[in-house]
A and B are shown apart, each in its own frame.
Chain A
Amino acid sequence: MSDVREVTDATWEADVLKSELPVLVDFWAPWCGPCRMVGPIVEELSQEYKEKVTFFKMNTDENANVPTQHGIRSIPSLLIFKGGELKGTVVGFRPKSDIKKRLEEALA
């Protein structure tokens, strides 16, 4: 059972901006190879940070508004939000240790 849920343009505000917990969103698309390597890392993190961070993924082929608003022009991109504010970004494939570090920094 995956703890990484889909978020869409329509559910963005409720799921991400108004979330009580910090949120990590994985922007991806099916055609993007490196995204397919980030996906499993995000899954693992979602287990490690259960009840501390909420994890979402957004398919950029199916959702145009949020990626445009956040100026996403390269995937994979991970965005970390806390209290509705952007606290951290990871662009491109990074090893798990790097992503974890960025997440910890954003949570601090």
Chain B
Amino acid sequence: MVDTFDIAIVGGGGAGLTAALYAARGMRSTIVFEGNVTGGQIATTDLVENYPGFPEGINGFDLGQNILRQAEKFGARVEYALVDSLTRLNTGSFELVADGNMYRARSVIVTAGADYNKLGVPGEAEFVGKGVSYCATCDAAFFGGQDVIVVGGGDAALDEALFTTRYVKSVTIVHRRDTLRASGILQDRAKANPAISFLLDTTVERIEGDGGVERVVLKNVRTGELSERKTAAVFIFIGQTPNSHLLKGMVELDAGGHAMVDLSMKTCVPGLFVAGDLRTQAARQLISAAGDGATAAISAEHYLQALG
């Protein structure tokens, strides 16, 4: 016996949980699949300062769990399982396989978001959990009083570098270009922080150590010169890749791999919606992801009503 839901949501971040809240509150049987931590990218953000309604800011994990509780209160079911496949059946409904279990849904909202990019250099995979980290909020406290590097020049890199200075002696921000991409306010804060210094036009070539990170080999991209630098940790924030593998062959993707949708989050497949960071031209903010989730849930509702 396969469980059939009105609305299945793939991904339990800001977009997915908000879609679930709307869908469940609209009395639709709703299931959310999340393969990792509910809350998505904000789950590892120490302080969310730009979500309206929280003038003092709010811890990202707490905010995510609040939205989760709100969705569950209206009856949304959450399965901690990774969706391996999504198929549209001849009947027009969808079949999902998650951790080997099969589910059916009359409509699907994919909010699978994006995953952090890896540097792809020797030592990176080897030292994950031993000094290589993609979450300063989680791991910075283990490097108290030590020197660390943060790789990247966007908002995430600067935000996490600023957080890390609470624990470490110094943070060196290594960025491959000669200018930072981060917003002005974060740049100002980082430049004003005496514990933060910058190494621009520089890439990480290798991460080395014995049992844990001890040093990196850096390359100046202008001169090609290599240098070695001692560091206890390498925090990596170099952008993201959309999780669009489930959609390949079903939905048109843009050049960056994001799903093409219209303003109501509809894809070209009837009953299939995409919302949040995975959709084309997303603002990649929690508030816009949440807004997308609400829009997608309303569109799914209209779709189900039309089916009768």
Contact = CB atoms under 8 A, between A and B. Distances in A.
Interface of A: 29, 31-34, 36-37, 60-61, 67, 71-75, 77, 91-93, 95-97
B17 to A, nearest CB: 14
Given A33-B59, A34-B44, A34-B138, A71 B211 contact: yes
A74 B37 contact: no
B154 interface: no
Contact of A33 (B44, B82, B133, B139): B44
| Chain A, interface SS category | loop
Contacts of B233: 73
B231 interface: no
A29 B60 contact: no
A93 B37 CA distance: 7
B154 to A, nearest CB: 22
A33 B37 contact: yes
A98 to B, nearest CB: 9
Interface in B237-267: none
Most buried by B among A77, A96, A97: A97
B133 A93 contact: no
Contacts of A29: 141
A91 B128 contact: yes
Contact of A73 (B64, B99, B143): B143
B99 A77 contact: no
A73 B231 CA distance: 14
B142 A74 contact: yes
Given A73-B143, A74-B138, A33 B43 contact: yes
Interface residues of B, number: 30
B131 interface: yes
Contacts of B58: none
Nearest to B101: A97
A107 B64 CA distance: 34
23 contacts: A32-B138, A33-B60, A33-B61, A33-B138, A34-B37, A34-B61, A34-B138, A37-B37, A37-B38, A71-B211, A73-B130, A73-B139, A73-B143, A73-B212, A74-B129, A74-B138, A75-B139, A91-B129, A92-B129, A95-B81, A95-B82, A97-B80, A97-B81
Contacts of B38: 37
B227 interface: no
B121 to A, nearest CB: 19
B35 interface: yes
A36 to B, nearest CB: 7
B39 interface: yes
Nearest to A72: B142
Given A72-B142, A75-B139, A36 B131 contact: no
Contacts of B130: 71, 73-74
Contacts of A60: 141-142
B133 A74 contact: yes
A75 B212 contact: no
A31 B39 CA distance: 16
B35 A95 contact: yes
